[in-house]
Amino acid sequence: MGRSKTCGVLFFEEKGRLLLKDLLQEIGFQVKAPRPEGFEAKSWVDVNLIIVESSLARRFGPQLSDLKQRALMQFSFLPIIVAISNSESPAPWLSSYFDDVLALPIDKTLLASRIRFWLRLQEEIAGHFRELVERSHLGFYRTTPDGRILYANPAIIKMLGFSSFEELAKRDLEKEGFEPSYPRSFFKEIIEKENQIIGLESIWLKKDGSRIWVRESARAVRDETGKILYYEGTVEDITERVKTEEAYLTVVEKSLQGMAILQEGRIVFANPALERISGYSREELLALSPAQVLEVVHPEDRAMVLENIQKRLRGEEAPSSYIFRFIHKNGETRWVRVSASRIDFRGQPAILVFYLDVTEEKRLNERLEAIQELGKKLALIYSYQEIAETIITGAKSLLGLEDVGLYLLDSSQKKLVLAGHSPETPPGPKSFPLNARKGIVPLVA
């Protein structure tokens, strides 16, 4: 390991610099040890480890940081050891990007041990990291702000339909990117402002022009001055997942049940059936704020609905199906039965809800209950007049009528006789002969 590795030495005092150079060569390393005024970072890209005096570490901090970043771009690791006096504290150096400290004067045995440790760690980290990236099914890339592709692993090369990295790297991303669904300036604007992008889902173009869906995360790697050196990101092909979602949503579009996906309090998906149930168009539903979504729920049911949503998002037990009232766009109060479950939608937690309008069912049940109550009342009444009044009152309530009359058949007199009426004064005669040729009797018969 020793003779193939190069150590860089930055010492201000010439005597100390030459002594350290000789010591390193004696141990078996190649050495670069220029005078401070002759140091150029660009000529040190092949250096495997740097030993720098503390005063020069401060002076050349940005250049040393840049060298570490360049090593990372090559999936490597550049150890930098700071030589300090006995009066200096190691804490400031170890809390920054420097890796180790050695107290002056440097002990030969300790120096050799430390250097071999860092170079061995360098090989292990670089080897494992590169192997991980090269074998990953995720795409890894590094690109520059001016559109150059610095690195792409085999997964992303295959994903985009290229035969080699060299072929892929010919593309200028500023002129010919992969993202037809948004301009590269959009990507750069977000990452410049937030320093990262997480879970951006978009369409990319392959070499042959076909489209794939990807989920991308990236970060900006900057130098000491804050200038972006390159973007480093991962890309996952989610085409099959999106196709499955689209197929599912196509089925949902034809469903007779209303369906919505709620995310962060908003409706992010609604099918045509929900439009018919609610009276709102899909565009109106998607435009509702979280507060407006709750306002659609009947005031007396809002607390219950909100509590069920919050429990479900927290992973707590909540009713999978329940009934509540909502306000139709026309102002009418209607009833729905919902079935809900927690899902992940576009990588974020959401609630999938199915709606079934049960307003008519609810009204029918209410009428059946009213009829049962009417029957119970009639069973307890023995007065002819009370029975008539109870039936008339019940008919008005159940049928929603204002003018109700109760006629009984008098078979001995062969006529219909008025038993009761609401209002009290009937608009017509109090009896009808059964042999009438026109009027209500032939109509009923």
Residue pLDDT, tens place only, 371-412: 777 677 777 777 767 777 777 777 776 666 777 777 777 777
Is the separation of the CB atoms in 316 and 340 below 8 Å? no
* Spatial separation of the C-alpha atoms in residues 137 and 156, rounded to whole Å: 8
CA–CA dist 416, 59 (Å, integer): 116
Instruction: Report if residue 366 sits inside a domain.
Output: no
What does the alpha-carbon distance between residue 14 and residue 64 come to, in Å, rounded to a whole number? 20
Cβ atoms 302, 294 nearer than 8 A? yes
Residues 191 and 230 in one domain: yes
Give the span between the Cα atoms of 6 and 29, in whole angstroms: 6
Which residue numbers in the chain have pLDDT < 50?
1-3, 441-445
pLDDT for 395 = 72
Tell me whether residue 24 is in a domain.
yes
Tell me which residue of 111, 106, 61, 110 sits closest to 84, measured CA to CA: 106
The rounded percent of the chain whose pLDDT value lies above 90 is 36
Closest listed residue to residue 140, CA positions, set 122, 160, 123, 125: 160
Q: Is residue 439 part of a domain?
A: yes
Q: What HEC string does 98-161 produce? A: CCEEEECCCCHHHHHHHHHHHHHHHHHHHHHHHHHHHHCCCEEEEECCCCCEEEECHHHHHHCC
**Residue-wise pLDDT tens digits, 42-91:** 899 889 999 999 999 999 998 998 888 878 767 778 999 999 998 899 88
SS3 of 382, please? coil
Domain boundary (110, 134, 158) is at: 134
Could you tell me if 160 and 278 lie in one domain? no
Last residue of a domain, one of 101, 116, 134: 134
Same domain, 15 and 100: yes
pLDDT computed for residue 442 by the predictor: 45
Statement: the pTM of the whole predicted model exceeds 0.85? no
Query: Are residues 276 and 226 both part of a single domain?
Result: no
Tell me, yes or no, whether 367 lies in a domain: no
Per-residue confidence (pLDDT) for residue 84, from 0 to 100? 92
* DSSP E strands, 332-424: 333-345, 348-357, 404-410, 415-422
Number of independent structural domains in the chain = 4
Which structure tokens are listed for 381?
A: 């009444």
Residue 365 falls within a domain, yes or no?
A: no
pLDDT tens for residues 351-369? 999 999 998 888 777 777 7
126 and 10 within one domain: yes
Per-residue pLDDT at 315: 87
344 and 274 within one domain = yes
Confidence (pLDDT) at 440? 52
Domain termination site, one of 174, 205, 237: 237
Q: Whole domain around residue 14: which residue ranges?
A: 6-134
And the tokens for 267?
């409706």
| Residue with token string 């927290």 | 314
Q: Does the residue 416 lie in any domain?
A: yes
Position 86 in a domain: yes
**Model pLDDT, residue 122:** 83
